[in-house]
């Protein structure tokens, strides 16, 4: 489904991520782990064509269902984002305008993606919140982001991102702003997305515990390159890479349980 073929990504001509490759099948869950500044966010932003600060893929290619994303026009990006590929962030609530209610944001999101009346968009928004098992969808639609807990805001973000059942969901530190119990709920919910909709997921996390729990495949990044990679079991139990082992020794538990 997604093939990242030996890319180099540079900010203002300074190569920051080098020789990064990933071949990901539909419905697979892949984690990118590594400490701050290792280039994880840069990689997933490149996949969505949203590199900030003059970032550019200067070598290699990114193929989505066999088609190069690097050649996309703005119009092709607009059609792809939110429908075929979605992204959720560390704190979806913080991405939302604090002065606007969830319902206004959600209906506007739907109306930028399809021709739909406000009333139908509202109903569709509620339906998605309900599908993500958020309690009292009507109430949530009428709330400001700050009136919801961090976990609920994150589930609203997931509900929006999943509206069009994307084949690929990019999640940038989706649980980092949450307490451990809520972290575990969000992680389980993302795993259900794969089971229910066949969505492939790339999770960026510095938390190897989260990666260990939910991924099929783990890529360990360090200083802009792939330091280690492999199936979950390989990384957790058989890797001989010193850096991976160091990360593993520092794994916190999730919700009181250790998943490694
Ligand atoms: N907009 C930007 N302009 C210039 N350089 C950037 C920009 N964004 C990131 N970088 C550089 O790219 C490198 C990788 O950053 P990136 O955010 O991808 O790492 P990360 O592993 O996701 O870290 P974190 O967990 O802190 O987000 C950093 O060293 C940073 O200096």
pLDDT for position 195: 93
pLDDT for position 132: 86
Residue nearest to atom 2 of ligand 1 (CA): 53
pLDDT for position 93: 67
pLDDT for position 252: 60
Ligand 1, residues 16, 57, 173: which to mutate, most atoms within 8 A of Cβ?
Answer: 16
pLDDT for position 116: 96
The DSSP symbol for 80 reads H
Ligand 1, residues 39, 58, 208: which to mutate, most atoms within 8 A of Cβ?
Answer: 39
Q: From the CB of 38, is ligand 1 less than 6 Å away?
A: yes
Residue nearest to atom 3 of ligand 1 (CA): 53
pLDDT for position 255: 46
Q: From the CB of 42, is ligand 1 less than 6 Å away?
A: yes
Distance CA 24, CA 63 (A): 10
Question: What token pair was written down for 123?
Answer: 């109903």
Distance CA 91, CA 102 (A): 14
The DSSP symbol for 238 reads I
**Residue 38 Cα: closest atom of ligand 1:** 21
Distance CA 102, CA 125 (A): 9
pLDDT for position 259: 52
pLDDT for position 256: 47
- pTM for the model stands at 0.91
Residues in a beta bridge with 205: 33
Q: Identify the segments of the chain with pLDDT beneath 50.
A: 254-256, 260
Domain spans in the chain, listed from the N-terminal domain onward? 92-163
> For the segment 155-203, what is each residue's pLDDT rounded down to a tens digit?
899 999 999 999 999 999 998 888 888 888 899 999 999 999 999 999 9
Q: From the CB of 16, is ligand 1 less than 6 Å away?
A: yes
pLDDT for position 206: 86
Total length of the chain = 260
**Residue 45 Cα: closest atom of ligand 1:** 18
Q: From the CB of 109, is ligand 1 less than 6 Å away?
A: no
Q: From the CB of 197, is ligand 1 less than 6 Å away?
A: no
Question: What token pair was written down for 215?
Answer: 């991924």
């Amino acid at each position: 489904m997604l093939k990242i073929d030996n890319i180099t990504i540079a900010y203002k001509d300074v190569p920051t991520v080098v020789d990064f490759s990933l071949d990901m099948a539909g419905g697979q869950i892949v984690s990118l782990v590594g400490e701050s500044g290792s280039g994880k966010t840069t990689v997933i932003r490149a996949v969505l064509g949203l590199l900030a600060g003059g970032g550019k893929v200067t070598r290699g290619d990114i193929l989505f269902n066999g088609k190069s994303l690097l050649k996309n026009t703005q119009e092709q990006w607009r059609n792809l984002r939110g429908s075929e590929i979605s992204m959720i962030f560390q704190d979806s609530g913080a991405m939302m305008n604090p002065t606007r209610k969830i319902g206004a944001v959600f209906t506007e999101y739907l109306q930028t993606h399809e021709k739909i009346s406000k009333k139908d968009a509202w109903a569709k928004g509620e339906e998605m919140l309900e599908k993500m098992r958020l309690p009292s969808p009507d109430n949530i639609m009428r709330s400001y982001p700050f009136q919801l807990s961090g976990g609920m805001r994150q589930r609203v973000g997931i509900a929006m991102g999943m509206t069009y059942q994307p084949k690929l969901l990019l999640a940038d530190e989706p649980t980092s702003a949450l307490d451990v119990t809520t972290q575990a709920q969000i992680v389980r919910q993302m795993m259900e997305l794969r089971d229910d909709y066949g969505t492939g997921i790339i999770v960026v996390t510095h938390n190897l515990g989260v990666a260990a729990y939910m991924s099929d495949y783990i890529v360990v990044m360090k200083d802009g390159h792939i330091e280690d990679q492999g199936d979950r079991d390989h990384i957790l139990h058989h890797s001989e890479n010193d850096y991976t082992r160091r990360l593993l020794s520092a794994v916190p538990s999730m919700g009181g349980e250790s998943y490694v």
